[in-house]
Amino acid sequence: MESEKGSGFNVYKGLQRPLIFKSLKGKYIYWGMACLLVAFVTGILLSTIIHPVAGIIGLIVIGLGGMGFIHSRQKGGLHSKTKSNGTYIVSPYFKRHSNR
């Protein structure tokens, strides 16, 4: 026999929460992946062009610097935007003409 409490639909709580992976939330997961990919490619290029030690140093500096930057930006929130106190008036680009 079916329960009389609900209408029969399952309720999934937490669907509106952002995805979290290793303390990175939402869009910052992709930023972290891009940062590590850039650090890895830069490390490979530096190690082949200059010296293997330069590649390791470049990998560490770019990887840790980028991740530090991402964690500092994440403290502003997922939807951090610049806020201005001014009033903006946007005029339409297209004007409506009568079809006579």
Residue 80 counted as domain residue: no
pLDDT at 55: 95
Residue 70 identity (one-letter amino acid): I
Name the 3-class secondary structure at 25.
strand
Q: What is the CA radius of gyration of the chain?
A: 25
Q: What is the pLDDT of residue 15?
A: 64
Q: Which residues, listed in sequence order, are joined to residue 25 by a DSSP beta bridge?
A: 20
More confidently predicted of 70 and 10: 70
Is 95 within a domain?
no
Residue 91 resides in a domain:
no
List the domain range (segments joined by +) for residue 51.
20-74
Comparing 5 with 36, which gets the higher pLDDT?
36
Q: How far apart are the first and last CA of the chain?
A: 66
Domains contained in the chain, number? 1
Per the domain annotation, does 25 fall within a domain? yes
pLDDT tens, position by position, 32-79: 999 999 999 999 999 999 999 999 999 999 999 999 999 888 887 766
**Domain-located, residue 12:** no
Predicted confidence (pLDDT) per residue in 29-42, tens digit: 899 999 999 999 99
Residue 6 included in any domain: no
Helices (H), the chain: 27-49, 52-74
Highest mean pLDDT among 9-23, 30-44, 81-95: 30-44
Domain-embedded: residue 55: yes
Threshold 0.75, pTM exceeds = no
